[in-house]
Amino acid sequence: MILVLLGPPGVGKGTQASRISLHYGIPHISTGAMFRDAVARGTEFGRRIQRYRIDKGEYVPDDVVIEAVRQRIHEPDCATGFLLDGFPRTIPQAETLNRFLAEEKLRLNAVLNLAAPIDDIVKRFSGRRVCPVDNATYHIEYNPPLQPGLCDECGAQLEQRPDDDPVIVKRRLDVYNEKTAPLVDYYETSGLLRTVDASREPETVFGQIVALLEGWQWHI
Ligand code: AP5
Ligand code: MG
């Protein structure tokens, strides 16, 4: 099964992606997480990514993102499918994904568009805390860790993402509206888009996603 998760920053793509990945046994590929990890590890790729100022909400150029995704989806764990979170994010990225899949005789099964009111999204940003070690994501109110400020999985001190600063959030939302929102129409036209009400609590949102995927008229 090959899935794309679409939706504005902070809507809950990563939260749902973890559940979908576990439920269907497919790898969760988040381009944002790949970039943050490379920057944190200080690799050559990470130093290159740093120049594009993702910490300020700017997009990485299409050719760089595309090459990173191309390499990742050729890894063995992607042989039975994968879940893309945060890619494609522009029309050229979507067109390249189509080409990749056609070359491999693969097919995109569904694009899940997570949608929620902007006020909900802003609250999700302000309370988000992430684990710098294993990327686990929490929310101080909606999904708190068992011990305040500490990761349930590894005990590391939770942090705020630098791009969750309110000024940068505004920029990210603007960039999303300009460059990524057009993908909703793009995938609507291709008949692959299903919109999910992401304003509900995480388990309810996940239930909607599973119901959508199970009810879909295609072979998983
Ligand atoms: P990326 O990491 O993909 O960030 P994003 O799209 O901005 O989305 P977020 O990760 O901020 O939010 P999310 O939707 O995953 O929400 P989450 O589940 O964490 O990309 C980062 C940057 O990398 C980009 O800005 C760009 O610069 C660059 N980049 C990445 N891909 C690129 C590409 N393809 N091309 C160019 N540049 C690229 O949830 C948010 C919070 O809400 C959490 O605290 C969570 O606990 C809480 N929450 C989640 N769901 C619910 C719910 N249902 N109810 C209540 N709280 C909830
Ligand atoms: Mg995310």
Residue 148 lies in a domain: no
The confidence score (pLDDT) of residue 41 equals: 93
CB 6 within 8 A of CB 181: no
Tell me how far apart the alpha carbons of residues 11 and 3 are, in angstroms, rounded to a whole number.
Answer: 17
Residue 110 lies in a domain: yes
Mean pLDDT of the region 72-77: 96
CB 180 within 8 A of CB 92: no
Which residue range forms the structural domain that includes residue 106?
2-118+181-219
Count: domains in the chain? 1
Letter for the amino acid at 68?
A
Q: Give the range among 60-64, 67-71, 215-219 with minimum mean pLDDT.
A: 215-219
Residue 131 lies in a domain: no
Residue 125 lies in a domain: no
Residue 143 lies in a domain: no
The confidence score (pLDDT) of residue 220 equals: 44
State yes or no: pLDDT of 216 exceeds 80: no
Ligand 1 pocket: which of 135, 143, 151, 201 to mutate (most atoms within 8 A of CB): 143
- Please indicate whether residue 170 is annotated as part of the active site: no
Percentage of the chain with pLDDT > 90?
A: 95
pLDDT tens-digit profile of 158-196?
999 999 999 999 999 999 999 999 999 999 999 999 999
The confidence score (pLDDT) of residue 7 equals: 97
Q: At what angle do helices 166-175 and 118-127 cross, to 10 degrees?
A: 140
Residue 66 lies in a domain: yes
The answer for residues whose C-beta is within 8 angstroms of residue 194's C-beta and 6 or more apart is 110, 111, 112, 113, 212, 216
Q: Residues lining ligand 1, CB < 6 A?
A: 7, 9-15, 30-33, 35, 54, 57-60, 65, 86-87, 89, 93, 124, 127-128, 137-139, 142-143, 172, 198, 201-202, 205
CATH number of 27's domain: 3.40.50.300
Residue 141 lies in a domain: no
Residue 164 lies in a domain: no
Tell me the pTM.
Answer: 0.95
State yes or no: pLDDT of 218 exceeds 60: no
CB 137 within 8 A of CB 31: no
